[in-house]
Amino acid sequence: MRRLLALVLLCLPLLSARAAELVMLVDTGTDMPLARIEGGRVTGGIHADLAQALARHLGRPLRLQALPRKRMALALEEGSGDLLCLYLPEWMPGDFHWSQAFFPQAEVLLTVKRAARPRSISDVAGKFVGTVHGYHYPEMELALGVGFKRSDGPSTEINISKLAAGRIDYALTSELWFRWRQRQGGGLGIDFHPPLVVANTVTACALSKKSALGLAELNGALQAMQRDGSVAALLRRY
């Protein structure tokens, strides 16, 4: 009996550490600067840096889990993942909690110089636009309805290849990605018109209702990161 009790006591710290682990989900279709994914593992980018900073503020060990986009909502609902950050409810419908909004992002429409520069979303009605498979574009859908013609690719990088090959003239992406790629040197090898801003948003984190992490605790950590400049530093880094 004593040996059994001793074994239970020895296992308690391990069980506690496992329960306290923070599992952050990252879409395998995500490009830098949001995420670098190599061999199925998240090895860098904003998602990784944000997750590490958040885990430090929460005092929890971290595990980054790369999953295809179509599996992420189910993972949150089942509790196999705790968090999915830098999204909005309309981008990721599902039965989970949402944190306070904290991370600004802008979505832009890229147009190659060979095509006429669009002055508004309505100018691309009926024309194929490079989009990422599984992603929702509510502003485009609302403005164009059936006139929103998607040309889906697995990633923004693939859509840029389609632009370069002349298969499409337009593509949607984040301003963060576009500016980051321009700063890498050598540009994208394509001449673009100035990007058209489609939407300005402030994104949040989806929290599993089965997570050991509470919504109030998550919001408290995000507020602390805003106060100490962690979020602003992250934006400057990329």
State the pLDDT at residue 185: 65
- The superfamily CATH assigns to domain 105-200 is Periplasmic binding protein-like II (3.40.190.10)
CB 99 within 8 A of CB 219: yes
Query: What is the CATH number assigned to the segment(s) 12-103+202-237?
Result: 3.40.190.10
State the pLDDT at residue 167: 96
Rounded to an integer, what distance in angstroms lies between the CA atom of residue 138 and that of residue 205?
18
- CA 215 to chain CA centroid, Å, is 19
Rounded to an integer, what distance in angstroms lies between the CA atom of residue 218 and that of residue 216?
5
CB 106 within 8 A of CB 115: no
pLDDT tens for the chain, residues 1 to 238: 455 444 444 444 444 444 479 999 999 988 899 999 999 999 999 999 999 999 999 999 999 999 998 899 999 999 999 999 999 998 899 999 999 999 999 999 999 999 999 999 999 999 999 999 888 899 999 999 999 999 999 888 899 999 999 999 999 999 999 998 888 765 578 899 999 999 999 999 999 999 999 999 999 999 999 999 999 999 888 8
Q: pTM score, two decimals? A: 0.81
CB 82 within 8 A of CB 211: yes
Which tokens sit at 153? 């690719």
For the purposes of burial, counting CB atoms within 10 Å of the CB of 227, is it exposed (0-12), middle (13-18) or buried (19 or more)? exposed
What's the Cα-to-Cα distance from 83 to each of 17, 78, 94, 99, rounded to whole Å?
Answer: 17, 12, 13, 10
- CA 139 to chain CA centroid, Å, is 18
Which tokens sit at 165? 């090959």
Which tokens sit at 79? 């509790």
What are the residues facing 206 on neighbouring strands?
84, 98
State the pLDDT at residue 1: 45
What's the Cα-to-Cα distance from 135 to each of 30, 63, 82, 84, 92, rounded to whole Å?
Answer: 11, 24, 21, 15, 9
The helix (H) or strand (E) run that includes residue 77 is: helix 69-78
**Where in the chain are the domains?**
12-103+202-237, 105-200
